[in-house]
Amino acid sequence: MTRGAHFWRGKWITENAAERRLRSLAGEASDVLGEPFPVSLVVDACAHLSADLANSSGPVRKRLSPYLGTMTTEAAGEALAELSRELTREALYEKLERELGGPASGRFVRVSARANPFESWEPVGLLVHILPNNAPAIGVLSVVEGLLTGNFNVAKAGSRDTAFTFAVLAELAAKDPTGRLAQRIVGLRFPADRSDWLELLCADADAVAVWGGDRALAGIRGFVTPGCRLIDWGAKISVGYATESHLHDEETLDAFARMACAPVRHACSSPQVIYAGTTDHRELMAFGERFTKVLQTVPPAASEDWLSLQEQAEISNTILVADHEELLSLTQVQGEAGDRRRVIVDIRPDLRASPLHRIVWVKPLPRDQITATLRPYRRYLQTAGLAATRSEAPALVRRLISAGVDRITRPGEMLSGYPGEPRDGVYALQRYSRRVGVRHGGPFGEGRDLPDVGNRGRLAGDL
């Protein structure tokens, strides 16, 4: 591992130094968590970084470019622009309002005008983030959420990952002239089989947020101590659903195709399966053919130029199995062999994950079978893009929600979100916080707020 591979509270350090510091992690976190930490520090720093990231020719972009690895220039620009939008002052204000009731989180507020109890959102404490390897911006945003909630944050990336996440966090910390932001950020890069480091990392953690699939979660679960909150941001599957009235609709086909060709970092929200609300296999095949033609008109995302050997093997294996099943009249692979934009029409309605990279399943699913078919996969469901008439939509929304879907959008809006939108059915900031209460009278007075207790402070301009 190269020198300076780890970021520790404002400084780049070597592997030997990181191992020494890991052994004192709990003590360092305790010292920092006892200090005042106004949320305004985070919002101000994020707003300044957002402005710098929006400047494509600025010095921050130039400093970050070496960390973008195999990403093309266009793909890197898209990722940085997306990050810039997430970190604006307006987006963070709205996120705090929706998820914690306002930017003055960390302030004890009387829960009832008729009673004395006061409650507040407070940090969980030492928050560990196990980062994904296919979406570097997610690591930055997860740590920002940890900072907004007042936590001491330790982010763990894989040894093969670039230091992009940590480089962005270093730029963020530099935007805070007080230095208090940097004191709550640690970034470590090491392989998952480094069990001694994982044990040290999780030994005193108050919460561990895991970004990844079942294997990643299982690998961390054994290191999490009793009482530690395990936060599962697992891999998700999203689907499209088109009723019979929309199977010939060009706008619906185009919208699903654009979503399916999104960059892989949006894999959880882009449709891996398009369900057609029909039981007629000939109609299903015809729908697949129409969708394939539209899919092949959508240019690939900028980040799709390079695939790992593992990704290439998964695509080849999926297509090969589907080709063999075509002999049993179960599937039909559509699209040209040399084009990765392929559609696999399958007459079986069960949910199947796609190998991504513009490989899409098309399956039949009558509306009265939606809940029974999808509910067994409820732990993995995220978004459903719904193409239906106004009269059809209400009943279909209820069936999809009953099946376990967390987000329902129009076909062309599966990737878009809004500040403070629930993630996997919950509010992220609440999962990174704990709700505490104080019941006391006398010196605390009779006002709405509990004075001189909270250390998070208010944002400038708050009432």
pLDDT the model gives residue 212: 86
The tokens of 443 are what?
């010196």
The residues, ordered by sequence, that sit 6+ positions from 381 with a Cβ below 8 Å of its Cβ are 236, 237, 238, 239, 351, 374, 403, 404, 405, 406
Long-range contacts of 133-136 (CB under 8 A, 24+ apart): 133/157, 133/158, 133/160, 133/161, 134/264, 134/265, 134/267, 135/211, 135/264, 135/265, 136/79, 136/161, 136/162, 136/164, 136/165
The residues, ordered by sequence, that sit 6+ positions from 350 with a Cβ below 8 Å of its Cβ are 363, 373
pLDDT digits (tens, 9 = 90+) for 52-95: 999 988 999 989 988 876 666 777 787 888 899 999 999 999 99
pLDDT the model gives residue 355: 85
pTM of the model: 0.89
The tokens of 200 are what?
């040290």
Q: Residue holding tokens 């970050």?
A: 64
Return d(Cα 217, Cα 219) in angstroms, integer: 5
pLDDT the model gives residue 303: 52
Q: Which residues in the chain land under pLDDT 50?
A: 1-3, 457-463
**Which residues of 53-178 form beta strands (DSSP E)?**
109-110, 118-123, 126-130, 152-157
With H, G, I as helix, E, B as strand and everything else as coil, classify residue 127. strand
The residues, ordered by sequence, that sit 6+ positions from 101 with a Cβ below 8 Å of its Cβ are 121
With H, G, I as helix, E, B as strand and everything else as coil, classify residue 234. strand
**Which residues of 160-256 form beta strands (DSSP E)?**
185-189, 207-212, 229-234, 237-242
Closest CA to 240 of 269, 268, 275, 264: 275
Which helix (H) or strand (E) covers residue 190, if one does? none
CB 92 within 8 A of CB 43: yes
The overall average pLDDT reported for the chain is: 88
Euclidean distance between the first and the last CA atom of the chain, given in angstroms as a whole number: 49
CB 110 within 8 A of CB 450: yes
CB 236 within 8 A of CB 380: yes
Return d(Cα 277, Cα 363) in angstroms, integer: 9
Return d(Cα 311, Cα 213) in angstroms, integer: 16
pLDDT the model gives residue 458: 42
Helix axis angle for 73-86 and 136-148, nearest 10°, is 10
Strands 6-8 and 11-13: antiparallel
Q: Which domains does the chain have, with CATH numbers?
A: 6-235+424-444 (3.40.605.10), 237-413 (3.40.309.10)
CB 91 within 8 A of CB 421: no
If one counts every other C-beta atom within 10 angstroms of the C-beta of residue 205, the result is 24
pLDDT the model gives residue 461: 34
Closest CA to 367 of 392, 337, 331, 330: 392
Strands laid side by side in the 6-8 sheet: 11-13, 6-8, 185-189, 152-157, 126-130, 207-212, 229-234
